[in-house]
Structure 1
């Protein structure tokens, strides 16, 4: 091998014009590799857009979008995620900076970057068990799953790389294996998640979907069930290296939210974890974005309504996140949702739409769009994005909130049975969240189902005995509040 530039697990052979990770080749466009080489040759140096146009594009006139797209492709090739810019950093309004530890030499693929822990690497292997399943389906599912799992912070995603008839991939820490077969117009998928270091299987599920829209159905099923498991593994991997590492703290906060649901205790615990992370490293956009949403949703559904500073904190955290990262669908979706939740619809809606342009599989952004339409009184328009967001999102407690909002929207447009199903499914997602129970109370009131109304009201007061009239009004509206609140007061006497 000729002259090389090494950083972390990556090596660039400038003579052969090749990028490798752990010795395995990485497919990358020539111009993107030119950009990576140019940035690595001056590590730590701020490179302006004009500077890059002169050196990489040789002075040709190119748009900001072209440069941003090339930077995004370079990050993807180097394993940077949307939420963790550990190699190429954006300095808002000024340019870009290579922050990896690049050195010249013959390669040292076992040495992680000096300032960051080694991030986990997930490999996706999709195989067909018989000729009834097209290899094209396997390839398409691999590509789409990479996009879905890429929304998990601080995780590198790889797939087998074609190499002269065989296949190779960077050494992975975790492996998702999917075996596809087909019988009588039904596609079957056996999915497992393993720790490659220990060889232990951590999770396994069997799925079956109709052959119509098989990719969409498999993505919804596998993505929603596997993502929470992968998040747990990523969190455990980082925490094992350093329990107080900023990224580990962020993932702990995400696990608290996903596992314990939206309630005052969750907001307090998760916010404390995020603030500890930010105190250690305030340059990670996703930490600020999640913190903004915690304050905004806490305020929106009444959990922090008594806290006058919640709105200010939500807005400030959202703006910090956006100043650090403007091309991440995950960050945009969270920050845009937070801004809408505190009433800044004109600011938040375009941000949510941009998040969906960048990643149509961003379930949170779909749900946030539906919630924003609800706030504008467009209940019919809110139903579709809410349903889409629920369909493609991880199957965890966040669906309790989104399902409750969906039930409220369906109720407002007269879809009583749909609203009943949505409320029941939302209640099953979280045993302590009051919103699905309140939605169920409103649904059964409108349906004039006295027995179900009584049971739902009992459940509501079980999980939230101190519910206030403002909380009821805020979620179900004046008419439902006028009917429900006197009954709640009578129950308390």
Structure 2
């Protein structure tokens, strides 16, 4: 039996307590204490009940019992002061008061049901959002929970690399105790998102768990608590929070799966995932490997627009990072590939975002690039890649205020994205053009922490420090630029068109002593 509460899974069969994907270390006696309290959560259990069940009737002092209870509370994120989950009732006993859902292993169709053929898993990540359980006893919250599931399903469906089960199929499981492995088999999906809603004291608490149906493992779990005011605004807010948390987790998990597969068994999508993993590194070797893998994806699937866009972005990265042996060749290939990507799929927001940002660096048709970037975020307002691409386009077009707004939105919808360091650098450069040098330094340092080998973080810092007259720090940052990228020159990195809208950035780089 698995008991689910507030992002925790208490598995009595395996004698394990999970918080998301992590196993929480619990002593056997503490596990037994939690087990007894959760199983008997419908009543107050006395001190004698606990001693008989956990200590087999042996003599136990009040201090020892209190210590064990505090350890149990700590294991599940509770405390003696808060008593959110385990409540002490003076002179009466103890009770587990958290909202609990039970999930029995092996629960599935009735034995008398006719056998169903299981649909094959799609060749891309697949997910079903199950109805959230209303734990409030309030009919109004039922509508809220169902509406939120619909919003999350719609938001996820905008990611074209995801296969999302329609609401009508997911809602056939409403009100049933199900085994996620069986749900995965019957719907043909690799992942399931399940959750619950509980209203109390003018607030609503939403808990969610993302589960791998192949293994039953928890990939992500969290809870959100908000004031219950405008129900529709609340739905939107929670939807963004959930989608921004699970989307990068899904992509990260899929990349890990792809890297474990034997190369001869890879599909075009797996090659694309591997290419993305290398592209995230932003190193010379990483970009070269990403380019090779993206082309392998295109060989297997010539209509794969997103792979073409990624290949174009790799050529663009070679030029702007100084990795190109033949910059003119990389420029031409970047332009050819982003145009190919748009001809193959001009309705995919992430393809549009990559194409728009590549064009901004390589071509410089601001009106066309802004239109493409705006269309990308309109198609999927939950995509970090779309908002980051829009920020890059607007920054290069000389509109730093709008660039900052786009970068902020990118970080809002995906606060743990693997490309976050690029977003911070883009924002830092926009801050420099707005003369917000202190904020540029904050952004540059965040980028440095996320990816210490990314030269952009250091030349953002070098320029901002130089403008503030912090010469020693500017020179130190400039030295790190040349350490990471020995071939760095201002003219090679900035390009003629970028220089027109990066005057303060370039002025700061010169003051920091970086070569022309």
Same fold (TM over 0.5): yes
Residues 480 and 332 of structure 1: CA distance in aligned 2, closer, same or farther (over 3 Å): closer
Residues 358 and 481 of structure 1: CA distance in aligned 2, closer, same or farther (over 3 Å): closer
Q: Residues 74-473 of structure 1: matches in 2 within 5 Å?
A: 109-110=117-118, 112=120, 118-125=123-130, 126-130=132-136, 134-150=141-157, 152=159, 154-158=161-165, 159=167, 161-163=170-172, 166=175, 170-181=187-198, 188-206=205-223, 214-235=234-255, 240=261, 243-258=265-280, 260=281, 262-304=282-324, 306-345=326-365, 346-393=367-414, 395-450=416-471, 452-471=473-492, 473=494
Q: Would you say how many aligned residue pairs link Structure 1 and Structure 2?
A: 380
Residues 179 and 305 of structure 1: CA distance in aligned 2, closer, same or farther (over 3 Å): farther
Residues 108 and 382 of structure 1: CA distance in aligned 2, closer, same or farther (over 3 Å): same
Cα contact 1:120–1:237 (8 A) shared by 2: no
Cα contact 2:141–2:199 (8 A) shared by 1: no
Report the CA distance between 1:456 and its aligned residue: 3.5
Which stretch of structure 1 is more off in the superposition, 277-286 or 203-212?
A: 203-212
SS in 2 for 1:283: coil
What are the superposed Cα offsets for residues 236-263 of structure 1, whole Å, 9 maximum, x if unpaired? 55675963211111111123334x2x23
For 2:255 and 2:170, the matched residues in 1 are separated by 27
Report the CA distance between 1:230 and its aligned residue: 0.7
SS in 2 for 1:304: coil
For 1:185 and 1:196, the matched residues in 2 are separated by 35
Cα contact 1:370–1:386 (8 A) shared by 2: yes
Residues 244 and 460 of structure 1: CA distance in aligned 2, closer, same or farther (over 3 Å): same
Residues 318 and 427 of structure 1: CA distance in aligned 2, closer, same or farther (over 3 Å): same
List alignment gaps of at least 5 residues for structure 2: 1-114, 177-182
For 2:482 and 2:298, the matched residues in 1 are separated by 37
Name the larger-Rg structure: 2
What are the superposed Cα offsets for residues 96-119 of structure 1, whole Å, 9 maximum, x if unpaired? xxxxxxxxxxx984464xxx9654
Which stretch of structure 1 is more off in the superposition, 421-430 or 470-479?
A: 470-479
TM-score by length of 2: 0.63
SS in 1 for 2:430: helix
What value does the CA root-mean-square deviation take over the aligned residues?
Answer: 3.6
Which stretch of structure 1 is more off in the superposition, 153-162 or 323-332?
A: 153-162
For 1:121 and 1:455, the matched residues in 2 are separated by 47
SS in 1 for 2:216: coil
Report the CA distance between 1:367 and its aligned residue: 2.5
TM-score by length of 1: 0.66
Cα contact 2:119–2:187 (8 A) shared by 1: no
SS in 1 for 2:171: strand
For 2:128 and 2:476, the matched residues in 1 are separated by 47
SS in 1 for 2:266: coil
What are the superposed Cα offsets for residues 349-380 of structure 1, whole Å, 9 maximum, x if unpaired? 32222223322333323322222222222222
Residues 218 and 164 of structure 1: CA distance in aligned 2, closer, same or farther (over 3 Å): closer
Residues 186 and 369 of structure 1: CA distance in aligned 2, closer, same or farther (over 3 Å): same
For 1:411 and 1:182, the matched residues in 2 are separated by 45
